């Protein structure tokens, strides 16, 4: 069997087994954790094989290129799948602890693995229509995860997520239809080659529509309203998984289209993308500065961090794409780590709102240390992964003479520091607002802490030896613009 299909088949099979085990919650959790571990091992083997022997290709039905639906496990897809598998493992591990107050429901695990399957397939597919299908699969699973709590605020969040994301996928479908009508191709590499023969005036509206559709999915500046409206209603581990996967499938698609197949797109689109990125960075970080709820602060920071990734893609160069991939991986892990830390803060101090918590530095120094590490990584201070992510982006901005973009990226880093210092001062440094408050003594937190420690080790490891990843992302960026096999 071709290993490129494993990241799709393993979570799908796990989801199915979890459905059958609905009556036995313990067994279901075992199956779920086992499936996540198998997925992680498959993803690691896939990445190893791809790094050693080049991209793996699989065409459905043995059709000649470019007619079959093609899966390509190139370095970009393989490394994102590995990230997704790690996050799935951490998320399922969290279900073993009592760190989150949300009650367990029998549909949680099947939907989780469905979401992972859809995301992994979206990371690997090389076909525009197939990409739409996987977007819809993740959308349906995400809707189930948002709604399964059943409280009014969760239903409200589901509706807003549904309406705005549905418009996004419809725009993607419309762009697919128009691109197919113009070129007769759906395979991304073939589409890129065919689009290069069209004249730029005809190409501009088609690619513009595609860009808008993917920006909705990536939660960029004017289209991000669905993200802060819905994410904070999720249970904490699911929220971490959402933030690591969902906007990243939009970004992966942007990298595959505008960073790869359509890198010859009209320069106007890249200029536009750069300004969208700038506005995302600024609005996201300002939105975060307003909020006091930990989850809302962190979710708004996601918009600002997506801006950095879009900025790197807008530079339209190999080094820019490599920086974008590095930053995507760094952001997925660090933001998930911060969201999980926030869940532990809530578990220990009793609330997500910063006005209701405090005193954790004295009571839980280990948690304070974990938060400090993730926060400094998000801001971009060495020795954590964020420093290298921002360094690569700013260096490429300066190399291309985009001083305004580079300056804004650094300024937004400063504003990010403001929010992180706010959390530090309110949650850790000041005393707890209730006199005589004691942190809950007995709690089964070990699995949660283990998951968090794994994420912390990865971000620290990437910060200390960035060359572990830089050669891989350089390979990935080079493979993006490679032509047909």
Partner 1 sequence: MIWAVAMATGTVIGVGLYLALSRDLLRCVIGLAVLGNGVNLMLFAAGRLGGSAPPVIGAGEAALGASANPLPQALVLTAIVISFALLCFSLALVLRIMQVGESDDVEALQSAEPPATDPVKPPLEESP
Q: Segment contacting partner 1 (CB under 8 A): 191-199, 261-269, 347-355, 433-441?
A: 347-355
Considering only the stretches 145-153, 239-247, 277-285, 373-381, report the one whose residues sit in contact with partner 1 under the rule CB under 8 A. Answer: 145-153
Closest approach of partner 1 to the CB of residue 114, in Å: 13
Q: How far is the CB of 408 from partner 1 (least distance, A)?
A: 25
Hey, which residues between 17 and 76 contact partner 1 (CB under 8 A)? Answer: 63-64, 67
Of 171 and 281, CB closest to partner 1 = 171
To partner 1, the closest distance from the beta carbon of 292 in angstroms equals 6
Closest alpha carbon to 242 in 392, 373, 84: 84
Q: How far apart are CA 73 and CA 468, in angstroms?
A: 19
Q: Which long-range contacts (CB under 8 A, 24 or more apart) does 300-305 make?
A: 300/228, 301/335, 301/378, 301/416, 301/419, 302/219, 302/227, 302/243, 302/247, 302/331, 302/335, 303/219, 303/220, 303/221, 303/224, 303/227, 303/228, 304/280, 304/412, 304/416, 305/331, 305/335, 305/378
Binding status of residue 437 toward partner 1 by CB under 8 A: no
Least distance (Å) between residue 282 CB and partner 1:
19
**β partners of residue 57:** 72
Given the complex with partner 1, which of 231 and 326 has the nearer CB atom? 231
**96 vs 353, which CB is nearer to partner 1?**
353
For residue 184, state whether it binds partner 1 (rule: CB under 8 A): yes
Residue 26 token pair: 């313990």
Tell whether residue 454 is a contact of partner 1 (CB under 8 A): no
Interface with partner 1 includes 241 (CB under 8 A)? Answer: no
Query: In sequence order, what are the beta bridge partners of 459?
Result: none
Of residues 44, 69, 275, 356, which one binds partner 1 by CB under 8 A?
356
- The end-to-end CA distance of the chain, in Å, is 20
Asked whether 194 and 259 are in contact (CB, 8 A), the reply is no
Instruction: Rule CB under 8 A: choose which of 13, 27, 98, 292 binds partner 1.
Output: 292
Question: Exposed, middle or buried by CB within 10 Å (0-12, 13-18, 19+), for 91?
Answer: buried
d(CA 370, CA 127): 40
Q: Return the number of the residue (184 or 222) whose C-beta is nearest partner 1.
A: 184
Stretch that binds partner 1, among 155-163, 252-260, 390-398, 409-417 (CB under 8 A): 155-163
Per rule CB under 8 A, is residue 163 in the interface with partner 1?
yes
Which are the contacts of 446, defined by CB distance < 8 A and separation ≥ 6? 97
Query: Residue 110 or 373: which CB sits closer to partner 1?
Result: 110
180 is a contact residue toward partner 1 (CB under 8 A): yes
Q: What share of the chain is helix, strand, coil (3-state, %, to 5)?
A: 80, 5, 20
SS3 call for 17: helix
Shortest distance, position 119 Cβ to partner 1, whole Å: 17
- When asked if residue 147 is in the footprint of partner 1 (CB under 8 A), the reply is yes
Structure tokens at 459: 């971000």
Q: Which residues bind partner 1 (CB under 8 A)?
A: 63-64, 67, 101, 129, 132-133, 136, 139-140, 143, 147, 150-160, 162-163, 166-167, 170, 173-174, 176-178, 180-181, 184, 186, 228-230, 232-233, 290-293, 296, 346, 350-353, 355-356
């Amino acid at each position: 069997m071709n290993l490129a299909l494993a990241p799709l088949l393993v979570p799908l099979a796990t989801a199915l087994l979890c459905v059958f085990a609905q009556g036995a919650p313990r067994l279901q959790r075992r199956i779920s954790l086992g499936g996540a571990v198998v997925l992680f091992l498959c993803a690691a083997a896939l990445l190893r094989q791809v790094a050693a022997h080049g991209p793996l290709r699989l065409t459905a039905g043995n059709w000649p290129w470019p007619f079959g639906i093609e899966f390509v496990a190139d370095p970009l897809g393989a490394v994102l799948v590995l990230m997704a598998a790690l996050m799935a493992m951490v998320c399922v591990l969290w279900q073993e602890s009592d760190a989150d107050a949300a009650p367990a429901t029998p549909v949680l695990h099947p939907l989780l693995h469905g979401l992972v399957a859809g995301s992994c397939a979206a990371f690997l597919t090389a076909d525009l229509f197939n990409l739409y299908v996987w977007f819809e699969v993740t959308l349906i699973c995400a809707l189930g995860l948002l709604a399964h709590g059943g409280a009014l605020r969760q239903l409200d969040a589901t509706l807003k997520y549904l309406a705005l994301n549905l418009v996004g996928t419809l725009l993607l479908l419309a762009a697919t239809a128009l691109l197919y009508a113009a070129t007769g191709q759906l395979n991304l590499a073939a589409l890129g080659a065919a689009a290069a023969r069209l004249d730029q005036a005809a190409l501009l509206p088609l690619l513009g529509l595609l860009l808008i559709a993917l920006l909705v999915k990536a939660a960029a500046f004017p289209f991000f309203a669905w993200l802060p409206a819905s994410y904070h209603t999720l249970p904490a581990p699911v929220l971490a998984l959402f933030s690591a996967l969902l906007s990243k499938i939009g970004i992966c698609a942007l990298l595959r289209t505008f960073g790869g197949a359509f890198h010859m797109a009209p320069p106007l689109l890249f200029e536009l993308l750069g300004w969208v990125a700038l506005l995302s960075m600024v609005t996201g970080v300002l939105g975060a500065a307003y909020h006091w709820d930990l989850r809302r602060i962190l979710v708004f920071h996601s918009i600002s961090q997506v801006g950095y990734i879009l900025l790197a893609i807008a530079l339209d160069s190999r080094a820019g794409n490599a920086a974008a991939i590095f930053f995507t991986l760094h952001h997925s892990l660090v933001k998930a780590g911060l969201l999980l830390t926030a869940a532990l803060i809530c578990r220990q101090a009793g609330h997500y709102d910063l006005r209701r918590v405090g005193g954790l530095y004295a009571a839980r120094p280990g948690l304070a240390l974990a938060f400090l590490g993730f926060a400094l990584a998000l801001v971009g201070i060495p020795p954590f992964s964020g420093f290298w992510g921002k360094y690569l982006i700013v260096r490429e901005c300066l190399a291309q003479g985009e001083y305004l973009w580079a300056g804004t990226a650094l300024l937004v880093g400063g504003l990010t520091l403001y929010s992180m210092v706010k959390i530090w001062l309110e949650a850790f440094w000041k005393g707890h607002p209730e006199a005589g408050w004691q942190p809950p003594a007995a709690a089964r937190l070990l699995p949660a802490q283990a998951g968090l420690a794994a994420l912390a080790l990865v971000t620290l490891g990437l910060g200390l030896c960035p060359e572990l990843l830089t050669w891989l992302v350089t390979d990935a960026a080079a493979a993006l613009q490679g032509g047909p096999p």
